[in-house]
Each structure stands twice: as structure tokens, then as C-alpha cells.
Amino acid sequence: MTVTIRDVSKKSGYSVATVSRVINDSDLVTEETKKKVGQVIKDLGFVPNNTARGLSTRKSNTIGMIVPNISNPFFGELIKGAEEAAGKNGFNIIILNSSYNNEKTIKDIMILKSRNVDGIIMSSVDFDESIYNTLVENGIPFVLTGPVLSNHKINYVSVDNLEGAKKAIKHLIELGHERIGYMSGDYASYLNKLRLQGYREALEANNIKIDKELVFKENIEKNIDKFMKMKSEDKPTAIFTFNDYMALDYMEKLEEKGIKIPEDVAVVGFDNIKMASYYSIGLTTVDNRQEEFGEKSFELLQDIIKGKTEETHQIITKPKLIIRKTCGAKSKK
């Protein structure tokens, strides 16, 4: 039923090898034969079977992508960028949802291995030793997205988190704030550490001494409690949050308590998730351009797969501050 290379061979009078060469646009074959065979291919509606191809070449032109949560647009954009770049290069993407679970991630890696993917783009928040080992032992090329805390030299693409945090803080300082708080949750990720460090460095660079009381590292409820109990003159006049999701959460809680944003306290987030841009929120934030990320991750992975590069690469993109309403900056309108 399905048309194979041998059908094309028979009908065209050329051998399967030649047909194969035509398919792969080899320069071992004349322009004339290319035309003739090409015509037969069209006539028969022949489409090369990628599975068969993959078996003999040991390549699948497929890359795996493991993300914690597909429905989170943050990852959605990442996937979109990667998918587009992949498509342009004849690759397709198999998506797996790890649900933030490392055991599941390892299973996923093995699934991808059995499918002979050429490489994996990992967006695992908590990249640990067991994941690293699984990837390396199975000889699977991979690229990580996001900042990576690891003793191993690893390929990754990440935004410059330090720089992003600094831009946010610098902007707040320029708006006249001196008591700037940092609010995260109580889960101490490496990412959190980096952004907090950026916060500190920016303050120091502007000769503002760091007040430990302004670094809120408990869970959201406790942080809000602490904030509410502070004397007004002690309260921060601006808050930089670990990420946009948290910023939204904090804003919700603060507004419930009657705190006005940005009048009483300015807020700046990180990530620039879609929701941040919605008018009634207008969250000022640091854009880390997920889509571009996805694209770069794929490109790096492709270079690795094709053996264009031997060393590991750490690609750090520059973030951009998106000024909206919650920081209290005057809009140009």
C-alpha cells in the first residue's frame, strides 16, 4: 500500500541506491537523473519513511524536550521557540511533562533514549546528579535551559539573572526608592540565590547598605505577616520578587490588606509572563525571553549533535527591564 524506495526504483529504472541518493540530494548523481527520479517520486507520491531512515542512520531527527509543566506559558514559549527552530532544520520535538518530578524525568530520559532521539533539551528546575548521570551514561547530547548549579561542565542557555536583578533594582533606585525589599518563597533554589545576589550587588553598587530585615525568605504568608507588622518607617517602599508568579501572589495578598500598589509599595517581578502584561496588572518585570531561549537551546543542541563543537557552552542572554505600572514609574502616555 505504501510506496517505498523500491517502487520508485522499479518504475524509474534506477537502482534503490540511486533513488536514495536523489532523496538525499547527493552530488554523486546527475542533474538529469535527479529530475527523472524526482518526477517518479512525485508521480507515485513517495514519502521517505523516517523510521527506516532512522534505523540505518541511527539518527532520528527528533529531539526530546522535558519540561515541568507544559501548560505554564513560561514553558510554552520555550517550547514554541525550540519547535520553530527545530522545524526549520528538519527536526521534530517530542514533549514530555516531568511534573517537577526527578524520578519521572529519569524515566522520560530512558523513553527518549529508546526512541533514539538525537538529543534532549531539559528544562528541569532541579537538575541533580542522578539526572546528569543518566544522560551521560546513555551518551545522550543535552542542553539545559535555566541556570545550572553543577560541578560538571554542562551545556546550557540561561538568562543573566544577576544582570536582570540589577536592572530591576537600579530602576527602583532611580525612582527614588531606598528601602527596597526582596521577597521570595521559602524554597531556596539556585535561581533564587542568583537573583538575590543581583539584588544585593545592585544595592551595594549604589551605596545603599543591605538591611537583612528587608530580605523576606519565609513562605508567602509569613512574609506578608512580617511586612504588615513592620513600622511604616521600616517598611520597604518597593519590593523585588523572585518571579512574576510570586509578584502576583504578593500583590493579591497586599491589596487584600489594603496596601496600594504602587502608591504604598512598588513591585517588580521577574520573567515577564503573559499575565504580567495584562492592563489591570501591569507588572513591571524583567523579560527573559523564553521563546528566544528555546531557539538558542535548539541551536546549541544541534551544534553538539552535529559535532560542530567539542567544548561545553554556556550561553547567557541579556534580560530586559519591562516598565509597566507596578513600579510607579510615570507612563509616557
Partner DNA sequence: ATCAGGAATGTAACCGGTTACATTATAAAG
Partner DNA sequence: CTTTATAATGTAACCGGTTACATTCCTGAT
Residues that bind DNA (CB under 7 A): 2-6, 13-18, 20-21, 23-24, 27-30, 32-33, 46, 48-49, 52-53, 55-58
| Closer to DNA by Cβ: residue 35 or 257 | 35
**22 C-beta neighbours (distance < 10 Å), count:** 24
Spatial separation of the C-alpha atoms in residues 192 and 185, rounded to whole Å: 9
21 binds, among a second copy, DNA, none (CB under 5 to 8 A by kind): DNA
326 binds, among a second copy, DNA, none (CB under 5 to 8 A by kind): none
Rounded to a whole number of angstroms, the minimum distance from the CB of residue 97 to a second copy is: 5
- Grouping H, G, I as helix, E, B as strand and the rest as coil, residue 263 is coil
| Cell output for 278 | 495584562
291 binds, among a second copy, DNA, none (CB under 5 to 8 A by kind): a second copy
Rounded to a whole number of angstroms, the minimum distance from the CB of residue 102 to a second copy is: 16
Q: Give contact residues for a second copy (rule: CB under 8 A).
A: 1, 47-52, 54-55, 60, 62, 69-73, 75-77, 79-80, 83-84, 87, 92-97, 110-111, 113-116, 139, 248, 251-252, 255, 274-275, 278-281, 291
Rounded to a whole number of angstroms, the minimum distance from the CB of residue 244 to a second copy is: 11
Spatial separation of the C-alpha atoms in residues 63 and 91, rounded to whole Å: 7
331 binds, among a second copy, DNA, none (CB under 5 to 8 A by kind): none
**Distance spanning both ends of the chain, measured CA to CA:** 65
| Closer to DNA by Cβ: residue 13 or 87 | 13
206 binds, among a second copy, DNA, none (CB under 5 to 8 A by kind): none
- Residue 310 β-bridge partners: none
- Residue 267 β-bridge partners: 239
Rounded to the nearest angstrom, the gap between the alpha carbon of residue 213 and the centroid of all alpha carbons in its chain is 32
24 binds, among a second copy, DNA, none (CB under 5 to 8 A by kind): DNA
Rounded to a whole number of angstroms, the minimum distance from the CB of residue 65 to DNA is: 24
Spatial separation of the C-alpha atoms in residues 330 and 209, rounded to whole Å: 27
Spatial separation of the C-alpha atoms in residues 151 and 304, rounded to whole Å: 20
| Closer to DNA by Cβ: residue 92 or 130 | 92
Name the residue type at position 279: Y
Spatial separation of the C-alpha atoms in residues 305 and 120, rounded to whole Å: 10
Rounded to the nearest angstrom, the gap between the alpha carbon of residue 284 and the centroid of all alpha carbons in its chain is 20
40 with 54: CB under 8 angstroms? no
Name the residue type at position 196: L
Rounded to a whole number of angstroms, the minimum distance from the CB of residue 221 to a second copy is: 16
| Closer to DNA by Cβ: residue 6 or 318 | 6
60 binds, among a second copy, DNA, none (CB under 5 to 8 A by kind): a second copy
